[in-house]
Amino acid sequence: MNTLRDIGEDALIERLIDLVPRDSSAAAGPGDDCAVIDLGPHSPTLQLLKTDALVANVHYLPDSPPRAVGWKSVARVISDFSAMGGLPERFLITLALPSDTPVAWVEDLYRGIGDCLEKFGGVLAGGETSSVPLGSSAVISVAATGSVHREHLVLRSTAKLGNVLLVTGTLGGSIHRKHLNFTPRIVEAAWLVSHFKPTAMMDLSDGLAKDLPRMAAASGCGFTINHTALPITQGCTAAEAIGDGEDFELLFAIEPERVAELFASWPFPDLPLTLIGAITAPEQGQFLAGGWEHFT
């Protein structure tokens, strides 16, 4: 009998997607960072919808500081909104927790959620709590709405042959450092979409080795990577940089003739911006091994 371990996350999603009625009006498919909803011609913005979950012993450890876990739960969703060029709005928090969870742990979790909402915008609109059996992992599920100006929307599926690929920040080693308190690149993404709108963009959550092939496949293209150019986090190997995941940096594609001006204009001196490769025809693409697989 086939289990999730046998087929993995991407194949699972492909098998599920046709079993339910789909949103025919959606401006972005179910494979993008967020769902994109057109609220009608009177609205200057599109609505973004996103859901994400943190699981104890998968995305954080039982002794991780709960305030940082709360931050991470919301920051991951904000990172997805930024990847589309949008901003966060309203959040729904679903907690499934064992009944022996200390109240103080949950309060600190909420303080971390509050820290992140206050810093990047967004408000709590509702939530739900449920018990899980004693010994089961806690699950923190975050659903949210966001918005993006119509002309700022960037999909992951619209990279073009000949585009170059850039990433913000450095890659790898997140698990030892920033995975609990990373900064979603919402300021940088907002600047990009209004000054040098990428042809395609996504955030790096499962590692370049997993995410870049997704962008290329969604765009009907291949890709090539200059491994010597990868911005590797100090102390990490190249394999960790492409495979660790949870970098939450921006990966984007842009026309090559705009790159020089982009580098000259980039207003974030503390955040590296690196040209790492290019979009190719599908049959000329490389293969990248590695990346985070959920069901192993």
Q: Which of residues 88-127 bind a second copy (CB under 8 A)?
A: 90, 92-94, 96-104, 106-107, 110-111, 113-114, 117-118, 122-127
| Number of chain positions touching a second copy (CB under 8 A) | 80
User: Could you tell me how far CA 160 lies from the centroid of its own chain?
Assistant: 21
DSSP letter, residue 138: P
User: Is 38 near a second copy (CB under 8 A)?
Assistant: no
CB of 150 to a second copy, least distance (A): 15
Q: Which of 14, 61, 62, 129 binds a second copy (CB under 8 A)?
A: 129
- Give the nearer residue to a second copy in terms of CB position, either 34 or 236: 34
Q: How far apart are CA 147 and CA 32, in angstroms?
A: 15
Most distant CA atoms of the chain, gap in Å: 58
Sign of CA dihedral 88, 94, 96, 100: positive
> What is the amino acid identity at position 253?
A
By CB under 8 A, residue 52 contacts a second copy:
yes
Q: Find the binding residues for a second copy in span 144-163 (CB under 8 A).
A: 145
Which one among 14, 15, 194, 195 touches a second copy, defined by CB under 8 A? 15
Q: Which is nearer to a second copy, 195 or 294 (CB)?
A: 294
Query: How far apart are CB 84 and a second copy at their closest, in Å?
Result: 12
Closest distance of CB 147 from a second copy, Å: 10
For position 139 contacting a second copy by CB under 8 A, the verdict is yes
We find the least distance from the C-beta atom of residue 113 to a second copy, in angstroms, to be: 5
CB of 73 to a second copy, least distance (A): 12
Q: Does 267 bind a second copy (CB under 8 A)?
A: no
Q: What does the alpha-carbon distance between residue 203 and residue 26 come to, in Å, rounded to a whole number?
A: 20
Q: Are 279 and 219 in contact (CB under 8 A)?
A: yes
d(CA 39, CA 89): 15
- Please identify, using beta-carbon distances, which residue of 75 and 113 lies nearer to a second copy: 113
The Cα–Cα gap between 59 and 76 comes to 11
Q: Work out whether 65 is an interface residue with a second copy (CB under 8 A).
A: no
- Three-state DSSP class for 59? coil
Is there binding between residue 64 and a second copy (CB under 8 A)?
Answer: no
**181-to-49, 71, 116, 245 alpha-carbon distances in Å:** 23, 7, 10, 14
Task: Determine, following the binding rule CB under 8 A, whether residue 2 of this chain makes contact with a second copy.
Answer: yes
The answer to the question of residue 61 lying near a second copy (CB under 8 A) is no
Q: Considering only CA atoms, which of 282, 209, 296 is closest in space to residue 251?
A: 209
SS3 93: strand
Structure tokens at 166: 């850039």
- Would you tell me how many other CB atoms lie within 10 Å of the CB of residue 214? 18
| Closest distance of CB 271 from a second copy, Å | 26
Question: Residue 94 CB, nearest distance to a second copy (Å)?
Answer: 5
229 binds a second copy (CB under 8 A): no
Kind of pairing between the strands at 35-37 and 45-55: antiparallel
Among 16, 61, 175, 229, binds a second copy (CB under 8 A): 16
Smallest separation, CB 91 to a second copy (Å): 8
> According to the binding rule CB under 8 A, does residue 175 interact with a second copy?
no
Q: Does 286 bind a second copy (CB under 8 A)?
A: no
Cα dihedral 280/281/287/290 (nearest 10) = 70
